[in-house]
Amino acid sequence: MDMVTNCSICDGSADETFSRKELWRNDRWRLTFSTFKDVFGFCYLEPIRHIRYITELDGREADEFGSVLSHITSALRAATGAKLVYVYIYGDHIPHLHVHMAPHMDGDPFTDEVVKPGVNLSNETVGDEVATGFVRSVRNFLLTSI
């Protein structure tokens, strides 16, 4: 992996900061989910190779991107019962391309404007049993589709 020392994704500190657990990876992509309760099922897809922007994807990364994203969002819908999965890409805060995927259900804090105004999210996390069940469900789905 092309690691950049001031990148919290490359150095692994983003996992701790955002209470992330790895769900899946291959040679080019890594999928993690945030264990924060208020945003259950919220995941991040990022290339293993350090790049900042989607325009820097090359070769197999670029070839796989749409397919991997499609399979993952299907897995997240199946695992959470979400109506749909919002997909966001930002490029400013962390200098490593990462795709945010938010399973959207009635009553959750997500809207088509990211998070509803005035919503304060807690740092409370789901328990290990819930996290393990979610990981198992998503991995099983991905094993049959990717």
> 82 lies in a domain?
no
Higher pLDDT, 53 or 119: 53
At 117 the pLDDT is 66
Q: Kindly report the average pLDDT of the chain as a whole number.
A: 88
Cα torsion for 39, 81, 46, 100, to the nearest 10°?
Answer: -50
> 84 lies in a domain?
no
Question: In angstroms, rounded to a whole number, what is the distance separating the alpha carbons of residues 143 and 146?
Answer: 6
- Looking at the 3D structure of the chain, how many domains does it have? 1
At 19 the pLDDT is 93
> 135 lies in a domain?
no
> 57 lies in a domain?
no
Which backbone phi and psi does 20 adopt, to 5 degrees?
Answer: -100, 145
Least confident of 3-7, 92-96, 113-117, 123-127: 113-117
Token digits for 116?
Answer: 């509803």
At 30 the pLDDT is 97
Residue 110's DSSP bridge partners are: 115
**Structure pTM?**
0.81
Token digits for 5?
Answer: 């020392």
> 46 lies in a domain?
yes
pLDDT tens digits, one per residue of 115-129: 666 777 788 898 899
Higher pLDDT, 135 or 66: 66
Nearest to 48 by CA among 87, 109, 3: 3
**Domain hosting residue 26, numbered range:** 1-50
At 2 the pLDDT is 59
